[in-house]
């Protein structure tokens, strides 16, 4: 009896941990924000997918209604080879987003990666983003969606003017810099 209770609570603890992990994903955080910020007003469901091959918009993508938002945020990295740990205040992100036939919305997100400075082995590592950073950057995206897909009159603060950089950004270790896509905040149609 005691044993099975123990097993049970261990099981639910594991489940809780998994849920915790699940609640940290970009999809989940975006889901909560779109619910109150977009779905409540417009009755359209917006979904987010990670897609690490996103690039500039092509002509035909623009014709299909895709818009692009490039920005950056804070993340930390851990190298699995040497256990090196570092923070970066400027990890580049690219969003593609569109409203589909006034029914639903799609967002794709590319997270640019970085190389470990001790190993310098060309293995690209994806950062880990704290929940509040995800919320903050997704809210900036949602404001773009409100303005550009729903014509809301929104004042958007220039994020980079507000940003305080503490350390110089190391271009040689940054995937976005290597591709020439790391310099500034951009929004194109
Ligand atoms: Zn390393
Ligand atoms: Zn860079």
User: Which of 38, 72, 30, 55 minimizes the C-alpha distance to 149?
Assistant: 38
Its pTM surpasses 0.85: no
**Ligand 1 centre distance from Cα of residue 85 (Å):** 8
Q: What is the pLDDT of residues 117-172, one digit of tens each?
A: 899 788 899 999 999 999 999 999 999 999 999 999 987 766 665 555 556 788 88
**Ligand 2 centre distance from Cα of residue 183 (Å):** 7
Domain ranges of the chain: 2-188
Q: Tell me the C-alpha to C-alpha distance, in Å, between residue 153 and each of 95, 96, 100, 144, 147.
A: 21, 21, 21, 10, 6
Q: What is the pLDDT of residues 14-31, one digit of tens each?
A: 554 444 455 689 999 999
**Ligand 2 centre distance from Cα of residue 141 (Å):** 20
């Amino acid at each position: 009896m005691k044993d099975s209770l123990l097993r049970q609570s261990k099981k639910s603890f594991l489940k809780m941990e998994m849920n915790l992990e699940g609640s940290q994903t970009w999809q989940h955080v975006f889901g909560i924000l779109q619910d109150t910020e977009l779905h409540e007003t417009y009755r359209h469901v917006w979904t987010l997918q990670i897609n690490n091959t996103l690039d500039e918009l092509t002509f035909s993508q623009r014709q299909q209604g895709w818009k692009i938002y490039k920005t950056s945020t804070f993340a930390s990295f851990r190298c699995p080879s040497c256990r090196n740990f570092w923070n970066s205040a400027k990890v580049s992100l690219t969003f593609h987003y569109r409203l589909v036939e006034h029914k639903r919305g799609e967002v794709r997100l590319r997270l640019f990666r970085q190389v470990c400075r001790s190993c310098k082995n060309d293995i690209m590592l994806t950062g880990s983003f704290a929940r509040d950073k995800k919320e903050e950057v997704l809210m900036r995206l949602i404001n773009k969606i409100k303005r550009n897909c729903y014509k809301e009159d929104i004042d958007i603060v220039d994020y980079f003017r507000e940003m305080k950089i503490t350390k110089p950004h190391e271009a040689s270790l940054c995937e976005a810099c290597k591709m020439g896509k790391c310099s500034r905040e951009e929004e194109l149609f």
